[in-house]
Amino acid sequence: MKKPTRRWRGLLAVAAVLIVAALLLGACGAKESTGNGGTGDQGTPVAGGTYNYPLSANPVSIEPVNAQESEGMQVAHQVFQGLTKYVLNDKGEMEAVPDIAEKWESTDSQTWTFHLKKGVMFQAPVSREVKAQDFVDGWNYVTDPANESFVSYILAPVEGSDDGGYQVDTKKGLTGVKALDDYTLEVKLRYPFAEFPQTLGHTVAAAWPVDYAKEIGAKKFSQKPVGTGPYMVESWKNNQSVTLVKNPDYWDTSEGAGPYIDTINMPIITSSQTEWLEFQKGTLDYTTVPPGQVAAAENKPEVKSGQWTAKRWPTLALYYVGMNMKDPTLGQNAELRQAISQSTDAQNVINIVNEGVPLPATGYVPLGMPGYAEGQNPWAYDPEAAKSTIDDMGGAPTLEYWYNTDEGHQKIAEVLQAGWQNAGIDVKLSNFEWGTFLDKLSKGNKGGGSQLFRMGWIADYPSMDNFLYPLFQSDQARTGSYTFYSNPEVDKLLQEARSTMDAQQRYDLYLQAEKQILTDMPASPLYFYRDFRVTNNRVANYVHNPMGFTDMWTLWIPEQAAE
């Protein structure tokens, strides 16, 4: 056997040097430029092209009966339409405006009449006009327990439904919804609910051809559902991709209604690291970034040059520290709860654990909600005041803080613990798996109830009611916020708000309720979530709205104009 020759060694050395040099060039070679990114060219929309939008998991469902998590609902959002839709108004709030409904009215906020637009068509192959009866059929279908919808609770206010959104008597069906004629739908509710139209932009309340779904079979329909929206489902390959194509017969031909892009390609990519690399490779137009890489993403040359946009988009979601009002130590001691809130260091949590992405919460109702007001919490972060309160009390008892087992929640707990410690409040940390955690929280003061705990809430629809009622109304607080909070005055305000048709008056009532709850302090709001996303400005007009949706029919690709 021959030994490696000097020539070979020399060649190998040269190759090694070249590889190292290439790696270094790759790391440093990207061109430097300055400037802020936007969400793409805002010129005149042009048609054509493909938008590449990854889904982070295989959707559970992409049709109204069961679309429930962000992926499935994002797909369904492009395909289905309801009586109302959510638009981002000038104040950055999600507002419900007419979609398939032309207008609606109610005098008592309990009986609603919706007038439907004429000429709204189902996509091919159904290709027929949407009638009021389609809503009656669809809502009856999703609230029938036999059809196992997990999102039917959105329709729980409708007469004939129980609290979980299932029909009380399946023989009678959902008695509260009736088609008065082809274009008029009457909905009777179990209780006055002035924000009801705000709930109807949810996919579960959308129009879909129940007759067609029954004809081809529910399973087949769930794979390739048909709605009325600007995009149609071309294919859904489980765990691989969803492909949507432009609806060629889209009923809304008004200016600006879109859609412009021909195809929406949605590969299912479960690893955020892989998604981020795919984006950098140019095969995706949108990405999340892996944990710990927010700053790196923001400093990318492509972001600085305006080729990409890296942005924190507000979402309607809250992270809070709950306090068990049934706990003998906390429940009876308002001053202690106030001091805990005043020493809850949200900014530190955001900076240390969340890479600066979320916003410190100033109340329970997040930014982006219609009627939102800033600075609602009278016990906002004030460590000095907290310390002085604890000193005046002669010290605080040692408390326990619970969180569900998760690295992120643990880090947050540790930062919070340090903040409370500085105010003189000793807190011990414990964690439990999710099921056990919820089970223990729901116990109140029976058999080792909680004291302090973490919890979160994500909006089902953009309404202050969706945060305040299920979390803090006396009958709901046991499994809503797990705080067991009860204040008849708050219940009264919430009830009054639900019965008030005037939007501004209603918002005022909700704000009063929120203020009162915060004054009582059963839960210290920590932060409002924001979604950090990087998008390619190859695609114009990108908006990630506070519900986490993108109206893909409003996007366009300027380079298509040149082709």
SS3 readout for 120-185: CECCCCCCCECCHHHHHHHHHHHHCHHHCCCCHHHHCCECCECCCCCECCCCCCCCCEEEEECCEE
C-beta atoms surrounding 452 within 10 Å: 28
Is 277 or 561 the residue whose CB approaches other proteins more closely? 277
Is 30 or 295 the residue whose CB approaches other proteins more closely? 30
SS3 readout for 99-133: CCEEEEECCCCCEEEEEECCCCECCCCCCCECCHH
Residues engaged in binding other proteins (CB under 8 A): 1, 3-4, 22-23, 26, 57-58, 60, 68, 145, 148, 150-151, 153, 163-164, 166, 219, 237-240, 267-271, 273-274, 277-278, 280-281, 283, 405, 433-436, 438, 458, 460, 470, 479
DSSP H/E element including 265? strand 263-267
For β-strands 359-360 and 523-536, DSSP reports them as antiparallel
Q: Edge to edge, what strands does the sheet with 184-188 contain? A: 101-105, 111-116, 184-188, 177-181
Q: Which residues pair with 446 in a beta bridge?
A: none
Is 127 or 283 the residue whose CB approaches other proteins more closely? 283
The encoded tokens of residue 493 equal 């305000």
Is 269 or 365 the residue whose CB approaches other proteins more closely? 269
CB of 504 to other proteins, least distance (A): 28
CB of 25 to other proteins, least distance (A): 8
What is the spatial distance between Cα 195 and Cα 459, in angstroms, rounded to a whole number?
Answer: 14
CA distances to 135, 165, 211 from 170, in Å: 17, 12, 18
Is 273 or 351 the residue whose CB approaches other proteins more closely? 273
3-state secondary structure (DSSP) of residue 23: helix
CB of 271 to other proteins, least distance (A): 6
Give every CB contact of residue 467 below 8 A, 6+ residues apart in sequence: 318, 364, 365, 366, 369, 457, 459
**Nearest of 183, 149, 514 to residue 364 by alpha carbon:** 514
CB of 30 to other proteins, least distance (A): 9
The encoded tokens of residue 179 equal 């088609």
CB of 276 to other proteins, least distance (A): 10
C-beta atoms surrounding 554 within 10 Å: 18
CB of 382 to other proteins, least distance (A): 32
CB of 112 to other proteins, least distance (A): 22
CB of 322 to other proteins, least distance (A): 15
What is the spatial distance between Cα 90 and Cα 94, in angstroms, rounded to a whole number?
Answer: 10
CB of 318 to other proteins, least distance (A): 13
Is 111 or 241 the residue whose CB approaches other proteins more closely? 241
Is 52 or 362 the residue whose CB approaches other proteins more closely? 52
**Are residues 136 and 177 in contact, defined by beta-carbon separation less than 8 angstroms?**
yes
Is 125 or 435 the residue whose CB approaches other proteins more closely? 435
CB of 57 to other proteins, least distance (A): 7
Question: What are the phi and psi torsion angles at 362 (to 5°)?
Answer: -105, 0
Is 419 or 462 the residue whose CB approaches other proteins more closely? 462
Is 256 or 435 the residue whose CB approaches other proteins more closely? 435
